[in-house]
Chain A
Amino acid sequence: MRARRIAVVLLLGPALGLLGLFFFVPMIASLALSLTDFDIYAVADRSALRFVGLRNYQVLLGDPLFWRALRNTLYFVVVGGPASIGVSLAAALAVHARGARLKGLFRTVFFLPVTTTIVAVAVVWRYLYHPRFGLLNYALASAGLGPVDWLGDPDWAMPSIIAMAVWKNFGFNMIIFLAGLQSIPERLYEAASLDGAGRWRQFLHVTLPALAPTTLFVTLLTVIGYFQLFAEPYVMTQGGPAGSTRSVVLLMYEEGFRWWNIGMAAAVAFVLLAVLLGVTALQATVRRLLSASAARGGGAGAAQPPPPRARKGKVTA
C-alpha cells in the first residue's frame, strides 16, 4: 500500500510539479497582476508596484483599440471558423465517399499544410498576395479583374488572412471528421436505403445527425484555437493596415512585451479567458440539448447511433 503511494508520487510528481509551477501558478498570478499597475518601472523595482483594483479593466473597456481588436478577432472566429469547418467537412466527405480511390494519398495531401510552420507559410502567402507581382492578382487580371491590394487594404486584409488560415488548418479537422464518418455503422445506410432513401436523403438523415457530436467537438476546438489568433497578423500585416488585423493576443503581446504594460496585458488575457470560458459553457449546453433530443428519438435523431461519450479527450489548438 505504502509502496503504491510512493509510486503514485513518483509517477505523477514531475508532470504535476511542472504544470503547477509553469501553468497554474502563472495563470493565477496573471489574475493578480491584472489588478496592479505593473509596468516597466516595476520590472526593475518591485516597490513601484501598486494595487489598482479593476482600473485596468475599466481602462480597457473604454479603449477603442481593445474593442477594435476584439471585433477583429470575432471576425476571424465567426467567418474563418465556419469556413474552415465547412472545408474540412467537404474534404472528409469527398475522401470518405464510396468509390473514392487513393484515400490515403488525398488524406495525406490535405493534411500537409497542418504540419507547416505558420511563419514560413505566411512568408509564402505574402508573396502570393503581392499587389504587383503576386500570382493571385495575375490570375485575377487574366480574368479581367483587380488588382486588389490584399494585405494593404483594410477591407481585404482580414479575409486574406482567413483564406490562408483555412488552407493551413482544414486538414486537422478533416481527419477528425473522417474518424466520425468511419464510426457510422453501415447498417444505418442499409436501413435508410431499404426505406427508399437516395444518396442525398441518406446524407441528410443519417450522416449529418450522426456527425453532430463530432461537429460540436470540432467547433469547440476551432473556436478556441481561432480566438488565439496571433502569428498570422504578426508576420503578414503587423496588425495593420489601420489596425484592421490586430487581434486580442497581438494586442496583449504589444501591451506586455513591447510597452511593458504588464498589468494591462494581463487584463487583456483575462478578458480573453472569460470569452473562452463562455464559449465552452455554450458548447456544453448545446451538447446537453443535443443528447437530450437524441434520447427522445424524435425526427432526424431517430437514425442516430448513441453519441460517443465525453469527447473532451483532446485539445491541441
Chain B
Amino acid sequence: MKLRRFAASVALHALLVAAAALTLFPLVWMVGVSLMPAGEAMALPPRLLPSAPTLEHYRTLLGRLDLARYLLASATVSLGATLFSVAFNSMAGYALAKLRFAGRESLQRVLLAALVVPGQIGMLPLFLLLREMGLVNSYWGVLVPSMAGIFGIYLVRQYALTIPDALLDAARVDGAGELRVFYSIALPLCRPILVTLAVATFMGAWNDFLWPLIVLTDDRLYTLPVALAGLFGEHVQDPELMMAGAVVTVLPVMLVFLALQRYYIAGMTSGSLKG
C-alpha cells in the first residue's frame, strides 16, 4: 500500500515536471537563441544553447533598430490605460454596487448583456470616429477603447458588494460626502481588486495587437508588438535578432505578473466564482 502510494506520487511529479519543461521550453529556447551569434540558430543539428553567448542582437535592436522608442511607446500606452481604467472602472463599479439610483437594474442588465460582445464588432466605425476626432495615429487613439471596460467595472462591483454598508453609513453619519466615502473608505478596501484590475489592464494593453495595428499608421509611433511584427517581415532570416526582439517584448509583462501574481490570480478567480 505504502509502495503503491509512493509510486503514484513519483508518477504525478514526473508528469508535472515533464509538463512544466514542455511549457517552459519555447520560452527558454527563445532566450537561448537570442544570445547566439548570428547564423547559429539556422544550423543542423539545431542548437539549444549558444556556443558563446553574445548581446549583439540586443545592441542592434536598441541601437540601429531603435527598439527603445517602441518600448517607451508600449510603456506609455499600457501605463496610461492602466491608470485610466483603474480610476474610471473603480468609480463606476463602486457606484453600481453601493449607490442606489433610478435605472440601476436596467443599466446592469445592458452592461451584462454587452459583456460577451467583443470590441472588434465596432472597430471600423470607431476608427472612422477617431479619424474625425483627429486621434488616429496618436497614443490617445490607442488608449481610448481601454480607458473604461465592462469587465473592469464588474470586477470592482463584485468586490465592492462585500463592503458592509454599515461602514459607509458610519462615515456618512460623521458628515462625509458621497465622494469622500468612496475615496477614503471604499477605495482603500478595494485595493486587492484594483491591483488585479491594474495587472489585467496592463497585460491586455501591452499585448494588444489588432487595435494599435489599425490606429497607428506612422511606424515611428508603433507599440512593441506592432513593431515586432513589422521587423519580422524584414528580418525573417535573422532568427537570433528576432528572438531578442521577442524577449524584449515579453519580458516586461512577465515581470509585472511575477511580482503581482498573488493578487492577480486571487482576483481573477474570485470574479469567476462569486455572484
Residues of A that sit less than 8 Å from B by CB: 3-8, 10-12, 14-16, 18-19, 21-27, 29-30, 33, 43, 91, 94-95, 97, 99-101, 106-113, 115-121, 123-125, 127-128, 132-135, 138, 167, 171, 175-176, 178-180, 183, 214, 217, 220, 224, 228, 230-231, 234-235, 249, 252-253, 256-257, 262, 265-266, 269-270, 272-273, 276-277, 280, 308-316
Which residue of chain B is the closest to A263 with respect to CB atoms? B124
Of the candidates B122, B145, B154, B246, which one forms a contact with A120 in the assembled complex, judged by CB atoms under 8 Å apart? B246
Residues of B within 8 A of A7 (CB): 95, 99, 177-179, 182
| SS of B interface (majority) | helix
User: How many Å from the CB of B95 to the closest CB on chain A?
Assistant: 4
User: How many Å from the CB of B93 to the closest CB on chain A?
Assistant: 8
A-B contacts, 9 listed (Cβ < 8 Å): A11-B179, A12-B96, A110-B19, A124-B246, A134-B46, A138-B46, A230-B210, A269-B122, A280-B116
Residues of B that sit less than 8 Å from A by CB: 5, 8-9, 12-13, 15-16, 19-20, 23-24, 26-27, 29-30, 33, 41-46, 87-89, 91-92, 94-96, 99, 101, 112, 114-129, 144-145, 147-151, 153-155, 158, 177-179, 182, 200, 203-204, 206-207, 209-210, 214, 224-226, 228-229, 232, 239, 242-243, 245-247, 249-250, 253-254, 257-258, 261, 265, 268-275
A30 to B117, CA, bound (A): 13
A241 to B162, CA, bound (A): 52
Q: Given known contacts A33-B124, A119-B209, is B268 in contact with A314 (CB within 8 Å)?
A: yes
A15 and B153: CB pair below 8 A? yes
A224 to B9, CA, bound (A): 37
- Further 6 A-B residue pairs, CB within 8 A, beyond A7-B179, A15-B153, A109-B20: A27-B121, A99-B12, A270-B121, A309-B274, A313-B271, A314-B151
Which residue of chain A is the closest to B253 with respect to CB atoms? A115
Which residue of chain B is the closest to A34 with respect to CB atoms? B124
A269 and B120: CB pair below 8 A? yes
User: How many Å from the CB of B28 to the closest CB on chain A?
Assistant: 10
Which residue of chain A is the closest to B34 with respect to CB atoms? A124
Which residue of chain B is the closest to A136 with respect to CB atoms? B46
Of the candidates B12, B24, B95, B254, which one forms a contact with A94 in the assembled complex, judged by CB atoms under 8 Å apart? B12
Residues of A within 8 A of B118 (CB): 224, 228, 272, 276
B13 and A100: CB pair below 8 A? yes
Q: Given known contacts A108-B258, A123-B232, is B99 in contact with A167 (CB within 8 Å)?
A: no
B92 and A16: CB pair below 8 A? yes
User: How many Å from the CB of B55 to the closest CB on chain A?
Assistant: 18
B273 and A308: CB pair below 8 A? yes
| SS of A interface (majority) | helix
Residues of B within 8 A of A99 (CB): 5, 8-9, 12
A25 and B129: CB pair below 8 A? yes
A205 to B8, CA, bound (A): 21
Of the candidates A94, A115, A220, A234, which one forms a contact with B257 in the assembled complex, judged by CB atoms under 8 Å apart? A115
A314 and B154: CB pair below 8 A? yes
Which residue of chain A is the closest to B100 with respect to CB atoms? A4
Q: Given known contacts A22-B126, A23-B122, A316-B200, is B147 in contact with A3 (CB within 8 Å)?
A: no
A253 and B209: CB pair below 8 A? no
B271 and A109: CB pair below 8 A? no
A127 and B41: CB pair below 8 A? yes
B45 and A138: CB pair below 8 A? yes
Of the candidates B13, B200, B271, which one forms a contact with A101 in the assembled complex, judged by CB atoms under 8 Å apart? B13
